[in-house]
Chains A and B, each alone.
Chain A
Amino acid sequence: MASYILRRIWGLIPVLIGVTILVFMIMHLSPGDPAKIMLGPKATTESIAKLNAELGLDQPLYVQYFTWISNVLTGDWGRSLQLKMEVLPLVADRFGATLLLTLCSILIATAIGIGSGIISAYRKFSWTDRSLMLFVLVGFCLPVFWLGIILQIVFGLKLQLFPISGMYSPGQTGLMDLFLHLVLPSLALSAGAGAVIARMTRSSMLEVFEQDYIRTARSKGINERRVIYIHALKNAFIPVLTVLGMQIGFLLAGAVLVEMVFAWPGIGTLMVNGILARDFPLVQGVILFVATTYVIVNLIVDILYAILDPRISYQ
C-alpha cells in the first residue's frame, strides 16, 4: 500500500510540472506586451521597460520560468499589481472562505445525492423514483448563478430568512452569523454536484441490489435497513467516491460563480477582479493554487479508493 501511494505521488510530479508551465504561459500567451497591458494605454516606453525589467520579462522564456518556479517553491508568488500585496498570503487568506463554501456544498450534495439515490434505487420505476430523477435532471441543468439569484429572491428578499450577500453582517464575527450567510451560497453550489451524485448512487445501488449476496442477506432475514446501508451502500459507494472526487474540482471552480452572486470573499472574486484589472501575478497565483489543490485532492481520492476497495490492484 505504501509503495502504491509513493508511486501515485511520483506520477503526480510530471502533471504538476505541466500545470506550472501552463500557468506560467498564461502571462506570455496574452497578445501584446504584458507590461504594456498591465500599465494601460497611457504607459510610456520607459515605464514599460522598467516594469519589464522588474518582472524579469526581458529575460529568455526558460530563464523566466526557472526564476518564477524557484520563487514559487520558496513561497515568493510575486506581488499583486492592483492590491499591492504579496500574492501567496492574499490567496491563502481568501482560500479559507472558498474552502469553507466548497466543503459545506460537498456535505449538502453528498447527503442529498446519496439519500435520494438510495430512495430512487430502492423504489425503482415508482413515482417517487421518477419525481426524484426529475429533480436531479433539473438540478443538473440549472445554471448555478441563476439558482443563486432565485435563492436570494425567495429566501433572502421574500421570506427574509437568510442574508443575501457577504460572509458576515457589518460588525459581526459570530459563528451563527457566518452560518446564516453560508446557507444560500452552499445550497446554490451543491445543486449540480448533488444531482450527479444522486444519479451515480442510483445506478450503482441498482447494480448492487441485483447481486447474489444481497439476495442471500435478505433470505437470511436481515433487517432491510441493514441490507441497504451496510451490505449494499458499502459496495455501491466506491463509484460514488470517484464521482465525488471529480465534483470537488467542479465545486472549487463553480465557487467562482457563486461567490460573485453572493459577494462571498473567496478566491473566485479575487481572481475575476484580477482578470478584469489585468493583474497577472495575482491571477497566476490563484490559478496555480486551485489547480494544485485539485491535483492533490484527486490524489487523496485515488488513495481512498484503493483503501476502500481491496479488489483494486496496487501493482
Chain B
Amino acid sequence: MKPQLQNEQEKVLNPTVVMEGKRGKRADGPWKIACKKIIRDKASMVGFVLLFLFLCLFLLAPVLPLQNPVEVNLAKRLQPIGTPGNMLGTDHLGRDMLSRLIWGGRVSVVIGFIAVGIALVFGTILGLVAGYFQRFFDTVIMRFMDILMAFPYVLLAIAIIAALGPGLLNTMIAVSIVGIPYYARIVRSSTLMYRNMEFVLAQRALGAGHWHIIVRHIFPNCLPPLIVAASLDVGWMILAASGMSFLGLGAQPPLAEWGVMLSEGQKYIRVAPHESLLPGLAIFLVVLSLNLVGDGLRDALDPKSK
C-alpha cells in the first residue's frame, strides 16, 4: 500500500488524526477557544486588568503602608484631596480616605464573592434536584423559587434583613438568598436539557447511580452558563450590599465599608464632597470591571449571545 493511501485510510478510521493539524497538534477544546476569544476582546481584557489591580490592592492592604482606617484624628478632619500625608483627603472624623477606601474594598468584594458563592451552591443543588428528579421535587422547589421571585430583589433583601436584624453578616445572607432562585432556574433548565441526552441515558444503562450522573455528567455541563451568571452577579451583589449599608441596614460604623462611607459622607456634601464621591467611584469602577469581565465571558462561553 502506498504511504499516502495508508495515511488517508488512517484518517478515515481514526478521526482524531484529522483533528490534528500539520504540526501534529490537537484541535483546541471549548475552554481554550473561550480563553482565546476573551483575550481578543479588548473591553473584557480592560475589565480583567482593572479587576486584577483592584484585587491585588485589596489583598495587599495589610502589608501596604496605610494609616489605620478607623483611627480618629479630629485635628485633620475633612482635609481635601491632595493633602500631604493624606493623598485622598480625610473624612469628617479625620480618618484617612485612601486607607478606608482600600480596607472598605476588601469588605465589599469579600461580601460580593461570598454572597455569590452561597447563592451559587444552594441554587445549583436545588436546580439539579428539581431538574433531574422532577415531579414532587420540581414542583415544590420551583414554586418556592417563584414566590421568592415575586418580590423585587432589593425589597426581598430588605425584608430578610428586617427579619434577621441589620448587620453585615445578615446583609450577606439576605443578598445570597435573593440570588438563589436565579441560579436554581439556570441550572434546572440546563439539567432538564441534559437529563435525556444520550450520554446520560448511556450512564443509566451502565447502572450509574443518580448522584454519580448528576455530579459527574450533568453538573459539568451546567458550568458555562453558571460562570457567566456568577461573574455578572458579583457586581450586583456588591451594589446591593453597599446599598443596604448605605441605608443603615448592612455594615455599621466605624467599619470601613463603601456603603457606610457614602452614607456618612452624604451629610458633608456641602463642605467635603470627596467624602461621598470617592467611595461611590470605587463601587462604580469595581462593578464596571466585573461587568466587562462578565460580558466577555458571556460572549466567549455562550455562542447564542453574539
- Residues in A lying within 8 Å of B, measured CB to CB: 14-15, 18-19, 21-23, 25-27, 29-31, 137-138, 140-146, 149-150, 152-153, 157, 249-250, 252-254, 256-257, 260-261, 271-272, 274-276, 280, 283, 287, 290-291, 294-295
Contact = CB atoms under 8 A, between A and B. Distances in A.
17 contacts: A18-B143, A18-B146, A19-B151, A26-B159, A26-B163, A27-B163, A141-B291, A143-B243, A143-B283, A145-B262, A146-B276, A149-B277, A157-B270, A256-B155, A287-B151, A290-B152, A291-B150
- Among B160, B162, B265, B266, the most chain A Cβ lie within 10 Å of the Cβ of B162
B113 to A, nearest CB: 17
Please classify the interface of chain B as helix (H, G, I), strand (E, B), loop, or mixed, using the class held by over half of its residues: helix
Nearest to A280: B162
B249 A291 contact: no
Chain B interface category by residue count? 35 or more
Contacts of B160: 26
Interface string B150-172: 11111100111111111000000
Given A14-B143, A30-B163, A143-B243, A254 B280 contact: no
Contact of A252 (B152, B165, B235, B270): B152
Contact of A260 (B155, B247, B273, B281): B247
B287 interface: yes
A18 B145 CA distance: 10
A166 to B, nearest CB: 15
Interface string B219-257: 000000000000000010001001100111100000000
Interface of A is mostly: helix
Contacts of B152: 249-250, 252-253, 290-291, 294
A250 B154 contact: yes
A14 B287 CA distance: 37
A261 B162 contact: no
Given A137-B292, A275-B166, A290-B155, 17 more contacts: A18-B150, A22-B148, A26-B159, A30-B162, A31-B165, A146-B281, A149-B262, A149-B280, A152-B269, A157-B269, A249-B152, A250-B153, A252-B155, A253-B153, A253-B158, A276-B166, A291-B155
B211 interface: no
Contacts of A254: 154
A202 B161 CA distance: 37
Nearest to A275: B162
Given A149-B277, A283-B162, A287-B159, A257 B150 contact: no
B287 A141 contact: yes
A57 to B, nearest CB: 15
A287 B284 contact: no
